[in-house]
Structure 1
Amino acid sequence: MNRRNFMLILGGGVITAAAATTIWVLSRQDGDAQSVWDPKKGAEEADLRRWVLSHAILAPNPHNRQPWIADLGTADEITLYCQKDRRLPETDPFDRQITIGLGAFLELLSMAAMERGFRAEIALFPEGEPQPRLDERPVAHIRLVRQDGLARDPLFQEIYRRRTNRSNYDIALPVPKDSLKRIAAASRHFPARYADDPTRVGDLRSLAWAAMETEFLTPGAAKESVDLMRIGRSEIAANPDGIAIDSLFVSAMDTVGLFDRNDLLDPTSQSYSQQVDFIRSQFDTAMAFLWLTTPGNVRGEQINAGRDYVRLNLAATAEGLSMQPFSQALQEYVEMRPHFDRLRTALAIQPQETVQMFVRLGYGGEIGPAPRWPYETRIRSA
C-alpha cells in the first residue's frame, strides 16, 4: 500500500491492494460503533443533559476524533472540556479545527435542548481563552433553562441523516443556486459564501488538490492520519474514532501481516502513481464550493464557526446534497503556507479575516454513518 492508497481509505470510499487492481468497497453501516445513530438511542434518558449529549456527539469533527468530555457534576449543568490527547498536533497545530468541532458539538446540543423546550445558555471559556493550544480549562459552561414557547429548530430532524460524504459526486448534476442560497442562509454567526461558476470551481479544485498533495508528502501530517487508522470491526469497536476501515478484505490482510501501515508513508511504492487519477476524482467531482470566514481568529469565533458549519451541513442534507470539507489549504503548518496564501487570494479574503471552513458540494451516493463513542463514555463526574 502507499500514501495514495491511504487517501482512498481516508476518503471513506475504497481501498486497493498493492498487488491487485480490484477495488474493494468499504462498508461503514453495521456494528455497535454506529448504533449511536439510532434516533431511539438515549430516548429513555430521564436526565435531559444526557439526552442532549446523545445528539451532540454526532457532530462533525476533524479526523472523527470526538474530543469532547462533558462534566455533569453539578445538577442541571454541563461543563464541556477538550480531551487533550484527541488533538491533532501535526495538521492542527493551534487546535483551530478541534475547536471548530467542539463548536459543532455545542450547536447540536443547543438544537436538542430546544426540541425539549429548553434554552442552552452557553458561556464560552469561563476560565479564560487558551492560547496557543487548548488546555485543561473548560471550553464551555452550559445551563439548560426552561423557556415556554421556544421554537424548535427545523434542522434538528436532519441530525441523524447528516453525513460527511467523501464519495465521488455526480458531475452531470450541477448544484442549484437556490439550494446554495438556502444552505448559506443557515449560517447564523458569520457569512457563508459560495462558488458555482464552472471556471472558478475548476480553479478551486486544482488549488485544493495541490494542498492535498502537499499533505501526502509531509511526513508528520501523513503519519498522523496513518496512526489514526482503525482496521476491521473489532478495532473500530475498541476505538470508534479516527479513520475507520470496515472491510473484511483489508482486515484479513492486516491480520496476516500483509497490510503494513508504514508502507502508506512510502511515496516510492509502485501503486503511488497508479492511484493518482482515482483519488483526484474526489476533487474533480466537486460541483460547488462554500466557505466560512470570521473577522479574526479568536477561540469564540472558531466555536461559532463550528456552530455555523454544522448548520450548513444539516441544511445541505435537507436539500439532498452532499458536503465534504477540504481543510488542507486552511492548515497552519509551515509546508502548507503557499497553499494557505493562494486560497486566501482566490477567495478574496481580507488581511484580518480567517477562512475557518472550505467545503465541496454535490450529489453523492448514499453512505453509512461514521463510528462514534457512545455518549455515556464521554461523561465524567456524573
Structure 2
Amino acid sequence: MAKSRRQFLRIAGSTAVIAAAGATGFIVTRTPDKALAPWSQAGSAYTDPRKRALSYAVLAPNPHNQQPWLVTLEGQDSFTLSYDLGQMLPHTDPFNRQIVIGLGCFLELMRMAAASDGYRADVTLFPEGEPEPVLDGRPIARVTLVKDGSVAASPLFAEVFNRRSNKEPFDMSTPVALEDMSSIIGVVGDGAITGAIHDQESIEILKDLSWRAHLIEVETPRTYMESVDVMRFGKAEINATPDGIDLGGPFLEALNIAGILTREELSDMTSAAYAQGVDMYRDIIWSAMGYVYVATATNTRRDQIASGRDWIRMNLKANQLGIAIHPLSQALQEYPEMDALLTELHETLGQQGSRVQMFARVGYGPALSPSPRWPIDAKIT
C-alpha cells in the first residue's frame, strides 16, 4: 500500500509539473529540435556532394540508435567509412554483427542519395580486410563519387524522411496482404534468402518466441543495462547527446522530472518502472500481423553489409506501402543466455545452416516522430 501511495503521489507530482510550467507551454517546448535537425536539413545544408549524400546516410537505422559511423573525407571526391569503437554494444552484440548491418544501411542510403544527385558511388568494402572476430579499427569502406549521367534515382529514396522503425502496438483488426509482404522482401539483392510469414499458426508461434527472447534480454542484468545506459531522458539530454534510446515528449519528461521514469528507477529490477517497462513490450510483440526476414548463406562481414543494404530497402518499401515494420533483434543476438532461442528461431523459419540477419514484425501502426541524430559534420574526422 505504501508503495502504491508513493507512486500515486509521484504521478500527481508529474501533473503538477506540467501545470506549474503552463500545460500548453510545457507541451509545445518539449520537442528536441536540435537533435531532430538532421531530418529536415539532409541534402540542403551542403554543396559538397559527399556531405550531401552523407547527410542522408546518417538517417539510417542502426542498433540502439548508436550511430557508430565515422567518416574521413579524402581529396575532392572520396571518403573512408569507419566506426567509433566507443559506440559498440558488447553485451547484446558481442561480435558487432548488428553494428555492421547498421553500417550497411548507412552505405545504402548514401548510395541512394548520391544517385539522386547524379553520382555513382564506387564502393570498396573492407580495403584492409574484414575485421574479425570483432571490429578492430580497420575501415568498413572507401568510397568515391563519380558524376554519371546514366545513374537513376531509386523510387524508394522518396521515403527517406518518412522511414521509421515502428516500436508501437499494431492494429490487430487489419491484416497485411501477402502480396504486400512479398513486395517488401522483393527489394533485396541477389543472393539473399528471404521469407514472409503470413499464416496465423506460425505468427502465434513467432509471437511467443519473440516474447521469450525479450524476457531473456530484460531479465539478464548486463544485457538489460546496456539499453538503460544509452537512454536519453527529456529534451535537454536528447539535444546534448542525440543518439541512443530517446525517452522524450511532455508526458515522459514530466514523469522523469517527478522521479518516476529515471535511469535509477529503471536500473532497479525490483521497481514498478522496470516492471511496467517490461510489460509494455507485451502489447508490442503480441500485435504482430506477420513477419519478414532476410538471411544469408554464410555470416561474413560482407554478408552483414549486404543485409544492412537489403534491410533499409525493405524498410523504405514497407513505408511506401503504408506498412509499419519493426525489427526484433533479441532472438538473433549472440550471448549464452540466448543461444537456445537463436537456434529455435532458425529452426522455426526453416533456416538451419543459414544465418538470419534481420527479423521483423509487420502491421499497421501509428505515425511516429523521427529519432534524434548527430549531424554529419559531427561524424567527420
TM-score (norm 2): 0.89
Counterparts of residues 66-77 of structure 1 (less than 5 Å): 66-77=67-78
Do residues 103 (structure 1) and 134 (structure 2) align? no
Do residues 328 (structure 1) and 355 (structure 2) align? no
**Distance 1:260-1:365 versus aligned 2 partners, 3 A rule:** closer
- Determine if contact 2:124/2:141 at 8 Å carries over to the other structure: yes
1:243 and 1:273 map into 2 onto residues whose CA distance is 18
**2:174 is aligned with what amino acid?**
L
Counterparts of residues 115-154 of structure 1 (less than 5 Å): 115-154=116-155
Q: Deviations over 1:251-302 (max 9, x none)?
A: 3454565544233233333465566654311011100101110111110000
Q: Find the counterpart in structure 2 of residue 12 from structure 1.
A: none
Could you tell which deviates more after superposition, 28-37 or 113-122?
A: 28-37
Could you tell which deviates more after superposition, 247-256 or 148-157?
A: 247-256
Instruction: Report the Cα offset of residue 247 of structure 1.
Output: 3.1
Q: Find the counterpart in structure 1 of residue 181 from structure 2.
A: 180
- Determine if contact 1:36/1:374 at 8 Å carries over to the other structure: yes
Instruction: Report the Cα offset of residue 41 of structure 1.
Output: 3.6
**Distance 1:349-1:240 versus aligned 2 partners, 3 A rule:** same
**Distance 1:361-1:18 versus aligned 2 partners, 3 A rule:** farther
1:193 and 1:331 map into 2 onto residues whose CA distance is 19
Instruction: Report the Cα offset of residue 104 of structure 1.
Output: 0.2
- Determine if contact 1:219/1:265 at 8 Å carries over to the other structure: no
Could you tell which deviates more after superposition, 112-121 or 88-97?
A: 112-121
1:159 and 1:228 map into 2 onto residues whose CA distance is 25
Counterparts of residues 228-247 of structure 1 (less than 5 Å): 228-247=230-249
Counterparts of residues 348-363 of structure 1 (less than 5 Å): 348-351=350-353, 353-363=354-364
1:253 and 1:363 map into 2 onto residues whose CA distance is 28
**Distance 1:235-1:93 versus aligned 2 partners, 3 A rule:** same
- Determine if contact 1:184/1:191 at 8 Å carries over to the other structure: no
**Distance 1:256-1:57 versus aligned 2 partners, 3 A rule:** same
**1:361 is aligned with what amino acid?**
V
1:333 and 1:325 map into 2 onto residues whose CA distance is 19
Q: Deviations over 1:228-254 (max 9, x none)?
A: 010011100110000101134443454
**1:346 is aligned with what amino acid?**
T
Q: Find the counterpart in structure 1 of residue 162 from structure 2.
A: 161
Do residues 368 (structure 1) and 369 (structure 2) align? yes
**2:79 is aligned with what amino acid?**
I
- Determine if contact 1:114/1:152 at 8 Å carries over to the other structure: yes
Counting matched residue pairs gives: 362
Instruction: Report the Cα offset of residue 181 of structure 1.
Output: 1.3
SS of the equivalent of 1:145 reads strand
**Higher percent of residues as helix:** 2
- Determine if contact 2:294/2:357 at 8 Å carries over to the other structure: yes
1:237 and 1:174 map into 2 onto residues whose CA distance is 38
Instruction: Report the Cα offset of residue 131 of structure 1.
Output: 0.7
TM-score (norm 1): 0.89
**2:321 is aligned with what amino acid?**
E
Instruction: Report the Cα offset of residue 20 of structure 1.
Output: 5.0
Instruction: Report the Cα offset of residue 44 of structure 1.
Output: 4.4
SS of the equivalent of 2:146 reads strand
Instruction: Report the Cα offset of residue 191 of structure 1.
Output: 2.9
Q: Find the counterpart in structure 1 of residue 38 from structure 2.
A: 36
Counterparts of residues 209-358 of structure 1 (less than 5 Å): 209-255=211-257, 257=259, 259-270=261-272, 278-351=280-353, 353-358=354-359
Instruction: Report the Cα offset of residue 94 of structure 1.
Output: 0.3
Instruction: Report the Cα offset of residue 75 of structure 1.
Output: 2.0
Q: Find the counterpart in structure 2 of residue 59 from structure 1.
A: 60
Q: Deviations over 1:41-85 (max 9, x none)?
A: 432422100000011001000000000011003220010001110
Q: Of the two structures, which has the highest relative contact order with CA contacts closer than 8 Å and spacing of 6 or more?
A: 1
- Determine if contact 2:193/2:297 at 8 Å carries over to the other structure: no
- Determine if contact 1:174/1:287 at 8 Å carries over to the other structure: yes
Could you tell which deviates more after superposition, 193-202 or 144-153?
A: 144-153
2:341 and 2:291 map into 1 onto residues whose CA distance is 16
SS of the equivalent of 1:103 reads helix
- Determine if contact 2:170/2:365 at 8 Å carries over to the other structure: yes
Q: Deviations over 1:308-336 (max 9, x none)?
A: 00000000000000111100000001111
Q: Deviations over 1:192-242 (max 9, x none)?
A: 211011111111010000000000111110111100010011100110000
Q: Find the counterpart in structure 2 of residue 86 from structure 1.
A: 87
SS of the equivalent of 1:187 reads coil
User: Which protein shows a greater Rg?
Assistant: 2
Q: CA RMSD in A?
A: 2.4
1:18 and 1:123 map into 2 onto residues whose CA distance is 59
**Distance 1:17-1:316 versus aligned 2 partners, 3 A rule:** farther
**Distance 1:37-1:270 versus aligned 2 partners, 3 A rule:** closer
1:120 and 1:18 map into 2 onto residues whose CA distance is 58
SS of the equivalent of 1:70 reads strand
1:270 and 1:108 map into 2 onto residues whose CA distance is 40
SS of the equivalent of 1:72 reads strand
Q: Deviations over 1:323-353 (max 9, x none)?
A: 11100000001111111111011011132x1
Q: Find the counterpart in structure 1 of residue 171 from structure 2.
A: 170
**2:253 is aligned with what amino acid?**
S
Could you tell which deviates more after superposition, 207-216 or 257-266?
A: 257-266
1:376 and 1:74 map into 2 onto residues whose CA distance is 17
